[in-house]
A and B are shown apart, each in its own frame.
Chain A
Amino acid sequence: MPMLRKNTRRAALALSLLASTAGFAAAEDFVLGLATGQTGGLAAYDQPSLAGLKLAIDEINARGGLGGKYPVKLEIKDTRSDTAAAVQAAQELVDQGVNAIITPCDADPSIAAGQITQGAEIPTFTFCGSTPTITSAVGDFMFGTYPADNAQALVLAEFAAKKGYKSAYVLKSADSAYTLKLPEYFATAFEAAGGKVLEQSTYTMGQQDFGAEVTKIKGLNPQPDVIMTAAYEPDFPAFIKQLRAAGVTAPVLGSDGIDTPTTLSLGSVADGLVHTTAGFAVPGSSLEAFNAKYKQATGKEPDTVYIANGYEIGLILDAAAKVAASPRGRDLRDAIANLENVEGVTGPITYKGTAGMPVRSISLVEVKGGARSLVEAVVPEAAKVPAP
C-alpha cells in the first residue's frame, strides 16, 4: 500500500509542522504573544504598530530584557484581520502560557480575544484600538495604549469652548464605532462645557456626495460656530471640498483619522482645519528624536504615529516589569495598572486611576498651506472624559 504510506507520511509532516510552532520559550524569557492583523483591513494599523514594537523590544533586549531582567521573545500570529482567527490565535497564545498578549487595532477582535485572556489572567494590550469599551467590556487585564475616542473628543470640545465657539454642527456615521461614537462623545463634552449642538446628522461611509449635508449646514440660521466630524478618507476630503465650495466658512474640527498625507494635499480648503493626533513631532521633541532613531534603524520614514505608539507599548511593559513582583499574571497587571507618568515618546502615559485606557497627551494640530503646526498638546482630565 504505497499510497497509504505516502498519505501517512504527509499527515505526519503536517502534524510535525503544526506541533513545532507550539514550542516553549526558556523559563526566564518573557514571551509576548501577538494576535494582530498583519494582513487584511487592519494591516494599515497593525503593521506599523508591530514595526515600532519590534524596535523597542530590540533595544530592551540589548539592555538585558524588560526591567533589565526578562529577555523578550515575540510570538507573532497573523489574524488576517478576522475576528475568529483572532480568537483562535489568542487561545493558542494562552495555551502556550505567554506572559502578555497584544490584540489588533480594532474593538471586535480585541474584545473577543480579551475575553479569553481575561479568563486566563494574562495582561493584554490592544495595539491602537481606541474604542473605550475595549477595556470596560473585557475587564481589568485589558489595557489600551492609544488615546481613547472619548478622550480625543474631550480635547476637541474643550478646545472649541476655549475658542469661544457656542454652537456646533456634528456629522457622524453609524457605519463604524469610531465615526459614530467619537462625534457623540464630542457632543456630550461640548454641551458639558456650555456649548450647544444645533444639529447632528449622519452620512454613509463612502457616499462621496455630501450635497444634502452641506445644504443642511448652509441652511442653518444662525450658522454654527464650528463643525465637528470624525469622518476620514475618502469621506472627509469629499465633505470639506463640497462644504467650502458651497461657501460655508465655519471652522472644522476633525479627529486623528485624518492625520494622513491626503489631508495636506487638499490645498486651501483644508486651511484652518484643526484635528487631534496621538503625537506631533515638533523640533526638539522626543517624538522627533524617536523618528530619527527609527529611520536610522530601519532605513524607512516613520510615516504614521502608530509606529511610535507600538514602540511605547515596549516602554510601558519595561516600566511595569521593573516594579512587578513577577513578570506575569496579577503581578504584571497590578504593575501596569499603577503606572504613572511613563515617559513615552509622545508624552507621559498614566494608567493609575483609569479603567485601562491610559491618560496621555493628545496633540491638536492646525493645517495651513499644506503643512501642520502644533496648536497645543493636552493631557485630558480623566474625570471630564465622557463615559463610554
Chain B
Amino acid sequence: MAEAAPLKGEKPEIGRQAAAGEGLAAPRSLERARTFRDAAALAALVLAGAGLVYFLLPGGPRIATMFLIYLTAVLSLSIYSGNSGITSFGHAAFLGLGAYVSAILTMQPAVQASALPHLPEFLKGWALTYWPALVAVIGAGVVVGLVTGAPLSRLNGGAAAISTLALLIIVHVILVGARDFTRGSQTFYGVPRLTTPVVVAVVAIAAVFVARWFRDSATGVKLRATRDNEVAAEALGIKASRVRYGGWILSVVVGMAAGSLYGHFLGAFSPKDFYFSFTYLLVAMLIVGGFFSVTGAVVGTALIFAVVQILRQAEGQSSFLGLFPLPPLFGLTEVGLGLALMLTIWRRPLGLAGLSELSLPWGASRLAPARTRSVAPAAAPGTAGDRLEISGLSCRFGGLKAVDDVSFSVRPGEILGLIGPNGAGKTTLVNLICGQIAGQAGAVVLNGKTVSGLHPAARADAGLARTFQNIRLFERMTVLENITAAALLRTGSLGAAREKAIALASEFNLLDIADRIAGTLPYGSRRRLEIARALATEPKYLLLDEPAAGMNPAETEALTEEIKAIRDRYGLGLIVIEHDIPLIMRVSDRIVVINRGAKIAEGDPATVRNDPAVIEAYIGSRNSH
C-alpha cells in the first residue's frame, strides 16, 4: 500500500498524459491484436489437429468433419454458458432448428414434394447452396435468439438453467408438432449432404474466432463479470440482463449454424436426434475441457471426441493388438465418456484448460507503457449545491426496523464516517443507498437527481460506487479484467476501458499481478482491487463498507492515508463504514452514528466522541472500542 502515497504528487502530470494520447493508442491496438493473435493460434491448432486426422487416419475426412461440427456446437454453448456461468441445456434444440431451416432451404424440389407435401408456398423449391442457406440460418438464429432470450435473460443461476431445459422441451415439442415443416417425429430425409471439409472448416474456424472475440469484447467482459458476481457487477453499472441477452443471441446464432452443419452431415434426422443425449454430449465436452474458456471448449471437444473414436475402434476389435482374442465389448465408449466426465468433476472442477485461454508468450511486455501513466479524474469540478442527500430512509424486515428514518448528506471532497455497533444497520443502509435492497420509505438524491427506485446499475451510472464488507470480486477473471469490466461503464470502447484499467492497476500497485486470476490474490490485494474497480466507474460518491476489516494496525494506517488520497485525487464524496473507531476518527471530516437502525448522533469527530448517546450505545453493546 506504500505505493499509494505518491498519488498526490502525480496530479499535475495527469492532464498532460491524457492530452498527449499517443501512449494510449499503441497498447490498445496491441491488445486487440493480442486477442486476434491468440484466437488465430487456437484456430491454427484446431486446423492442424483436424488436418492431421484428415490425412493420416483411415476414415480421417469423416472423423475430422464430425470433430469440427461438434466443436462448432460446443463453441456455441461456450459463448453463452462459459461467459454467463449458466449451463444451457437448450442448445441441442437450437441446433435442431438450424438443421431443419437449412435442410428445407437446400432440398431438391422433387424430394421436397414427396417428403414435405404440405410445406407453405414461400418455403418451397429454394434449393439453395450451403452459403446462402447459412445466411438464412443466421437470420433465423437472430430472431430465435431475440424471442427466447427475452424471458431468459432476466433470470440467473439455477432458474436460468432450468429455463433452458424448458426451452429444449418446448422447441422439441414445436419441431414434433410442426409436421408440415419437419415431418413431425418421422424421419426428415432427403437433406443434401453439403457439409464438405471446406464448408465445415470455414464455419468452425469462424466460430473459434467469434467465440474468442466475444469473450474479450466489451459485452463478453461484462457478461463474465455478472457470472462471477452479479451483485457486484450491477453495483458497477452492468445491466446483467442486457449482457446476458447479447450473449444468448450470439450463442443461438452460432448454435444454429452448427446445427446446419450437423443436419447436412446426417442427411436424415428427426427431433429426437436433437434432444437429451445430444445435450448431454455437448455439456460433457464443455465441462471436461473447461467451462470458462474458449480453449476449454476446444480441448474438451477434442478429448471427448478422441476418447469416443479410440474406444469405438477398440470395442469392435476381435483381438488386443493382435496378441490375444477379445470378444466384442460394446458400451466401452459410453463408459469412457461417463468416466471422463466424473474424473474431471472430481479432479479438475474447472476443466482441463481451467480459466485461462491459450495465449502466446510474446508480447508479455504490453503493460509496460502504462507504468508511467495515470488516470485523469473525469469528475468535473463540483458546483456549490452538489451533494448526496439521504433523507428519511427506512427499511423493515418483518417486524424489525433495520433502518429507521435515517437522513444525512455528504458533499464532494468530504469524508463521512458512518459508525455504529454490530447490527446497527450500517450495511443495510449502504444497500439501501446503492439499491441492492429496496426500502419502504425515504429518498436518495444525487446532485439533485433522485436515484432511489432506480436499478443498482442505473445508480452506478448516476455516480454511486461501493465496495462490499465481504469483498465481491470477479473471482475467475484477471485483475485487469476486473477493473476493465467496471471501466466500461464510462466508455463504450474496450481499448479505452483497458487503458484506464491499466492506469488504475498501476496506481493501486496491482500492475505486476494484472494478469493473475482475482480469486488467487492475497487479502490486501483483494481490498485494493475492489477499491480500484469501484473508482473505474468514475463515481461522484464512493461508499466503502468496512475497508479495514481483517487488516493489521500497519495496514489500517496505510489505508487511512489511502482513503484521504482518493478523496484528494478524485475530489469525490466518501462514505466510510467502519468498526474501527480510531481509523474513523482520523479519516473522517464528519461522523454519523447509527444504532438500532436510527441515527443517534452526527457531527465532527471530536463532538461525536463525547456524545453521551454514542458512548452509551457502544458501552451498552459490550463492543466498546
Question: CB within 8 Å of B: which residues of A?
Answer: 14-22, 38-41, 75-78, 80-85, 87-88, 91-92, 95, 107-108, 111-112, 114-116, 131, 133-134, 136-138, 174-177, 180-181
Contact of B322 among A20, A111, A138, A176 (CB under 8 A): A20
- Residues on B with C-beta less than 8 A from A40 are 277, 334
Q: How far is the CA of A18 from the CA of B270 in the complex (A)?
A: 31
Whether B268 and A92, one on each chain, are in contact in the complex, defined by CB atoms closer than 8 angstroms, is no
Interface residues of B in 57-91 (CB under 8 A from A): 57-59, 62-63, 66
Contact of A174 among B179, B266, B267, B333 (CB under 8 A): B179
- Residues on A with C-beta less than 8 A from B186 are 107, 131, 133, 177, 180-181
A91 touching B185 in the complex, CB below 8 Å, given contacts A17-B310, A112-B266: no
Whether A91 and B59, one on each chain, are in contact in the complex, defined by CB atoms closer than 8 angstroms, is yes
Nearest chain B CB to A294 CB, angstrom units: 19
- Residues on A with C-beta less than 8 A from B313 are 17-18, 21
**A178 closest partner in B (C-beta):** B185
B176 close to A (CB within 8 Å): yes
Nearest chain B CB to A277 CB, angstrom units: 23
Interface residues of B in 381-408 (CB under 8 A from A): none
Interface residues of B in 547-577 (CB under 8 A from A): none
Whether A111 and B265, one on each chain, are in contact in the complex, defined by CB atoms closer than 8 angstroms, is no
Nearest chain B CB to A280 CB, angstrom units: 28
B541 close to A (CB within 8 Å): no
Nearest chain A CB to B6 CB, angstrom units: 48
Q: How far is the CA of A80 from the CA of B280 in the complex (A)?
A: 14
B184 close to A (CB within 8 Å): yes
Whether B316 and A112, one on each chain, are in contact in the complex, defined by CB atoms closer than 8 angstroms, is no
Q: Using an 8 Å CB-CB cutoff, how does the interface string of B261-297 with A read, 1 for contact, 0 for none?
A: 0100111111011000100000000000000000000
Whether B269 and A20, one on each chain, are in contact in the complex, defined by CB atoms closer than 8 angstroms, is no
- Residues on B with C-beta less than 8 A from A115 are 189, 193, 267-268
Whether A131 and B187, one on each chain, are in contact in the complex, defined by CB atoms closer than 8 angstroms, is yes
**A91 closest partner in B (C-beta):** B62
| Highest count of chain A CB atoms <10 Å: which of B57, B59, B177 | B59
- Residues on B with C-beta less than 8 A from A137 are 115, 187, 189-190, 268
Whether A78 and B185, one on each chain, are in contact in the complex, defined by CB atoms closer than 8 angstroms, is no
- Residues on B with C-beta less than 8 A from A138 are 189
Q: How far is the CA of A180 from the CA of B333 in the complex (A)?
A: 33
Whether A174 and B177, one on each chain, are in contact in the complex, defined by CB atoms closer than 8 angstroms, is yes
Interface residues of B in 436-459 (CB under 8 A from A): none
- Residues on B with C-beta less than 8 A from A174 are 176-177, 179, 184-185
Whether A84 and B310, one on each chain, are in contact in the complex, defined by CB atoms closer than 8 angstroms, is no
A80 touching B176 in the complex, CB below 8 Å, given contacts A20-B322, A22-B58: no
- Residues on A with C-beta less than 8 A from B58 are 18-19, 21-22, 95
Nearest chain B CB to A230 CB, angstrom units: 12
What is the interface of chain A mostly: helix, strand, loop, or mixed? helix
B312 close to A (CB within 8 Å): yes
Whether B330 and A84, one on each chain, are in contact in the complex, defined by CB atoms closer than 8 angstroms, is no
Q: How far is the CA of A92 from the CA of B59 in the complex (A)?
A: 6
Contact of A175 among B115, B185, B314 (CB under 8 A): B185
A180 touching B184 in the complex, CB below 8 Å, given contacts A14-B310, A78-B312: yes
A133 touching B187 in the complex, CB below 8 Å, given contacts A15-B56, A107-B270: yes
Q: Count of B residues near A, CB < 8 Å?
A: 44
B331 close to A (CB within 8 Å): yes
Interface residues of B in 39-62 (CB under 8 A from A): 56-59, 62
Nearest chain B CB to A37 CB, angstrom units: 9
Q: How far is the CA of A83 from the CA of B316 in the complex (A)?
A: 18
Question: CB within 8 Å of A: which residues of B?
Answer: 56-59, 62-63, 66, 114-115, 176-177, 179, 184-187, 189-190, 193, 262, 265-270, 272-273, 277, 309-310, 312-317, 321-322, 328, 330-331, 333-334
**B274 closest partner in A (C-beta):** A83
**A134 closest partner in B (C-beta):** B187
Whether B59 and A82, one on each chain, are in contact in the complex, defined by CB atoms closer than 8 angstroms, is no
Q: How far is the CA of A6 from the CA of B535 in the complex (A)?
A: 52
| A and B contact pairs by CB, cutoff 8 A, 25 listed | A14-B310, A15-B56, A18-B57, A18-B59, A21-B316, A22-B59, A41-B277, A87-B265, A87-B266, A87-B267, A88-B63, A107-B187, A107-B268, A108-B272, A115-B268, A116-B267, A133-B186, A134-B187, A137-B268, A138-B189, A174-B179, A174-B185, A175-B185, A177-B184, A180-B184
Q: How far is the CA of A83 from the CA of B268 in the complex (A)?
A: 8
- Residues on B with C-beta less than 8 A from A107 are 186-187, 268, 270
Q: How far is the CA of A107 from the CA of B56 in the complex (A)?
A: 33
Contact of A80 among B63, B268, B333 (CB under 8 A): B333
**A115 closest partner in B (C-beta):** B267
Whether A108 and B187, one on each chain, are in contact in the complex, defined by CB atoms closer than 8 angstroms, is yes
Q: How far is the CA of A254 from the CA of B273 in the complex (A)?
A: 27
Whether A111 and B189, one on each chain, are in contact in the complex, defined by CB atoms closer than 8 angstroms, is yes
**B52 closest partner in A (C-beta):** A11
| Highest count of chain A CB atoms <10 Å: which of B115, B266, B334 | B266
Q: How far is the CA of A137 from the CA of B186 in the complex (A)?
A: 12
**B172 closest partner in A (C-beta):** A175
Nearest chain A CB to B314 CB, angstrom units: 7
Q: How far is the CA of A92 from the CA of B66 in the complex (A)?
A: 13
- Residues on B with C-beta less than 8 A from A112 are 189, 266-269
| Highest count of chain A CB atoms <10 Å: which of B59, B268, B328 | B268
Nearest chain A CB to B327 CB, angstrom units: 11
A176 touching B185 in the complex, CB below 8 Å, given contacts A80-B333, A84-B262: yes
A78 touching B266 in the complex, CB below 8 Å, given contacts A22-B58, A39-B331: no
Q: How far is the CA of A84 from the CA of B322 in the complex (A)?
A: 29
Whether B176 and A17, one on each chain, are in contact in the complex, defined by CB atoms closer than 8 angstroms, is no
Nearest chain A CB to B599 CB, angstrom units: 60
A108 touching B265 in the complex, CB below 8 Å, given contacts A20-B321, A22-B58: no
Whether B331 and A21, one on each chain, are in contact in the complex, defined by CB atoms closer than 8 angstroms, is no
**B111 closest partner in A (C-beta):** A137
Contact of B333 among A18, A78, A91 (CB under 8 A): A78
- Residues on A with C-beta less than 8 A from B193 are 115
Nearest chain A CB to B386 CB, angstrom units: 63
Q: How far is the CA of A84 from the CA of B334 in the complex (A)?
A: 15
Q: Enumerate the 8 nearest inter-chain pairs by beta-carbon distance, A residue then B residue, closest first.
A: A111-B268, A38-B330, A112-B268, A137-B189, A177-B186, A107-B187, A22-B58, A78-B330
**A177 closest partner in B (C-beta):** B186
Q: How far is the CA of A188 from the CA of B60 in the complex (A)?
A: 48
Whether A76 and B328, one on each chain, are in contact in the complex, defined by CB atoms closer than 8 angstroms, is yes
- Residues on B with C-beta less than 8 A from A22 are 58-59
Nearest chain B CB to A183 CB, angstrom units: 13
**A37 closest partner in B (C-beta):** B330
* Additional 12 contacts, C-beta under 8 A, given A39-B333, A111-B187: A18-B59, A21-B317, A77-B316, A78-B331, A87-B265, A111-B268, A115-B193, A115-B267, A134-B187, A174-B179, A176-B272, A177-B270
Q: How far is the CA of A111 from the CA of B185 in the complex (A)?
A: 14
Nearest chain B CB to A302 CB, angstrom units: 20
- Residues on A with C-beta less than 8 A from B321 are 16-17, 20
